[in-house]
Amino acid sequence: MRYVSTRGAAPALAFDDVLLAGLARDGGLYVPETWPVLTAGDLRSLARADYAETVTRVMAPFVDGTIAEDDLAELVTDAYRGFAHAAVVPLKQLGANQWLMELFHGPTLAFKDLALQVVGRLFDHVLARRGQRVTIVGATSGDTGSAAIEACRDRAAIDIFILYPEGRVSEVQRRQMTTVEAGNVHAIAIKGTFDDCQDMVKAMFNDTAFRDRHNLSAVNSINWARIAAQVAYYVWAAVALGAPARSISFAVPTGNFGNVFAAHAARHMGLPIHSLAIGTNRNDILTRFLETGSLSIGTVEPSLSPSMDIQVSSNFERLLFELFDRDGAALSRAMADFRRDGVLAISPERWQRARDGFVGHRLDDAGTLATIRSVWQSTGEILDPHSAIGVATADACRDDPAVPMVALACAHPAKFPDAVERATGIRPALPGRLSDLLSRPERVVVLPNDLAVVEDFVAARTTRQELPA
Ligand SMILES: *Cc1c(COP(=O)(O)O)cnc(C)c1O
């Protein structure tokens, strides 16, 4: 399996190189050259597989040739050992043919653990084989930082530095980053905004000498390995609910379009998906695109579902690549125009193809609170704000009551206790394994919004590269 860049001007790479590269050198995102196929027979045989086996079978053709299948099986099994639910990804029935897929039983209580726990181990495996190390740097406004830290902690070949805006993440989110006892983990509070943090990370990558000296790498949501790992839970849910004999619909709360693109990939591979519904909050560039055929940037407005407060969804470029019939040069020009003008209009024919693949729904904060309240009153289930957008989207976009509809629950309610308390009067408690989070000692350094200071800090704390013997 080779991967090609959506901008058409970077070399095709194998999985292990795509894993370590993240973004392609031409600024594009890597996508598989062809889609692996899951036959009806494959799906039937998965009916007896547990979650880790399902992930291994789904990922094997993506990893193809770069990691032995036994090694893949071992690291995937290890990745899900720390999940708090025996099923890893349990399905709960909410109503007639209506389901909730709980993706928050991992160490940091959000769906990002499902992919990142695997990706951290993939990095370690590939780096150990090559005798290399990497320094992962990232900026976070909340969930991604803690999931990346948990994925990389104590991994021999990785040092990880996560920048977050001081005072601008929730207490739970901050403590999930600052209370990790691992020598290779560095949480850095920056005196600035999330954009300042992100700009500094970009500047470190653009400082070629610094980047090469420390072998900088990233585990952000454009990394193909994350998508590949996420395909598995769509297959898992569909098989549990009757695939290949039945088609299934999914409703996916969406920010960077990574999660729902994994569903789209599963459909390409042959999973019988009836419809894919995209849920957005007031930052609704994707729903507006489906309504108008034009992608136009607005300003990011804070909402009760902060992990979806995004205007430019980085993974959307992978769908555009398909709509542009895989013409990387044409997409590259369109993306340059989009950067300049903030607008990307596509032809009516391409817009229709997008609408054949996806439906969309937007929910404001009042609707989010009302959904949390009504689902709690009618089922006893307490949703976090992101999951509430998934459930409301499932309700709004359902077109055939005979087709099972699965809404994705992307975070544990205790991660967003203020919104949940406003909606229900109940302050959700952290699960047992995190119940002492608020009393654990914190380890954090506060640095100014100053690139030179941050680079010096990273340089001083990065484990030296082993010189080849
Ligand atoms: C990251 C995140 C999202 C958005 O997912 P994308 O893959 O960026 O679309 C939604 N909900 C929660 C809780 C998240 O952490």
Name the percent of the chain lying above pLDDT 90.
Answer: 86
**192/167 Cα distance (integer angstroms):** 9
**Rounded distance, CA 134 to CA 311, Å?**
30
71-118 pLDDT per residue, tens:
999 999 999 999 999 999 999 999 999 999 999 999 999 999 999 999
Tell which residue, 175, 126, 124, has the closest CA to residue 154: 124
Q: What is the mean pLDDT of the chain?
A: 95
Q: Which atom of ligand 1 is nearest to the CA of 253?
A: 10
Q: Name 414's Cβ contacts closer than 8 Å, sequence gap at least 6.
A: 109, 172, 420, 428, 429, 430, 431, 434
Residue 258 Cβ inside 6 Å of ligand 1? The answer reads: yes
Instruction: Supply the residue whose CA is at minimum distance from atom 1 of ligand 1.
Output: 307
Residue 467, pLDDT > 60, answer no
Q: Whose CA is nearest to atom 14 of ligand 1?
A: 307
**Does residue 21 lie within any of the structural domains?**
no
The SS3 call for residue 251 is: strand
Query: What is the pLDDT at residue 465?
Result: 58
Judge contact between 85 and 105, C-beta under 8 A: yes
CATH code of the domain containing 234: 3.40.50.1100
Q: What does the alpha-carbon distance between residue 360 and residue 247 come to, in Å, rounded to a whole number?
A: 19
pLDDT of residue 299: 85
Is a pLDDT exceeding 90 seen at residue 194? no
pLDDT(469) > 50: no
Best residue among 254, 309, 310 to mutate for probing ligand 1, ranked by most atoms within 8 Å of CB: 254
Whole-number Å distance, alpha carbon 461 to ligand 1 midpoint, is 30
> Rounded to the nearest 10 degrees, what angle do helices 285-292 and 348-357 cross at?
120
In angstroms, the CA 210 to CA 167 distance is: 28
Q: Between 297 and 178, whose confidence is greater?
A: 178
Which pTM does this prediction carry? 0.95
Tens digits of residue pLDDT in 327-375: 999 999 999 999 899 999 899 999 999 999 999 999 999 999 999 999 9
Token pair 């291994």: residue: 56
H helices present in 241-304, as ranges: 258-268, 285-292
Higher-confidence residue of 332 and 143: namely 332
Which ranges constitute the DSSP H helices of 312-409? Answer: 316-323, 328-341, 348-357, 365-379, 385-397
User: Is 73 domain-assigned?
Assistant: no
pLDDT of 259 over the 90 cut: yes
CA-wise closest residue to 44 among 303, 245, 260: 245
DSSP of 101-135? EE---STTSBTHHHHHHHHHHHHHHHHHHHT--EE
**Which residue segment(s) compose the domain that 102 sits in?**
91-107+224-424
**Do 405 and 398 meet the contact criterion of CB atoms below 8 Å apart?**
yes
**Residue of 182, 166, 184 whose CA lies nearest to 174:** 166
- Eight-state DSSP code of residue 89: S
253 lines ligand 1 (CB under 6 A): yes
Q: Is residue 60 part of a domain?
A: no
pLDDT in tens, 277-319: 999 999 999 999 999 999 998 888 889 998 898 888 889 999 9
Side-chain-facing half-sphere of 302: CA atoms under 13 Å:
4
CB of 244 within 6 A of ligand 1: the answer is no
Q: 407 pLDDT band (50/70/90 cuts)?
A: very high
92 is catalytic: no
State if residue 280 touches ligand 1 by the CB under 6 angstroms criterion.
no
Most confident of 11-25, 182-196, 351-365: 351-365
Q: What is the pLDDT of residue 468?
A: 46
Residue pair 462/214 in contact by the 8 Å Cβ criterion = yes
| pLDDT of residue 69 exceeding 60 | yes
Give the bridge partners for 248, in sequence order.
273
> What phi and psi values does residue 144 have, to the nearest 5 degrees?
-65, -40
Which pair of structure tokens corresponds to residue 374?
Answer: 């009504």
8 A C-beta contact, residue 393 and residue 277 = yes
When comparing pLDDT for 323 and 202, which is higher? Answer: 323
Residue 141 lies in a domain: no
**Residue 219 has what pLDDT?**
87
Per-residue model confidence (pLDDT) at position 466: 52
Report yes or no on 381 lying in a domain. Answer: yes
Which atom of ligand 1 lies at the shortest distance from residue 257's CA?
A: 9
Residue 347, domain member (yes or no): yes
The DSSP bridge partners found for residue 358 are: 276
pLDDT(55) > 80: yes
CA-to-CA separations, 357 to 61, 241, 268, in angstroms, rounded: 24, 21, 11
Domain membership of residue 305 (yes or no) is yes
Overall domain count for the chain? 1
For the stretch 213-242, pLDDT in tens is: 999 998 888 899 999 999 999 999 999 999
Task: Give CA separation, 279 vs 48, 213, 364, in Å.
Answer: 31, 42, 11
Is the minimum distance from the CB of 112 to ligand 1 under 6 angstroms?
yes
Domain assignment present for residue 432? The answer is no
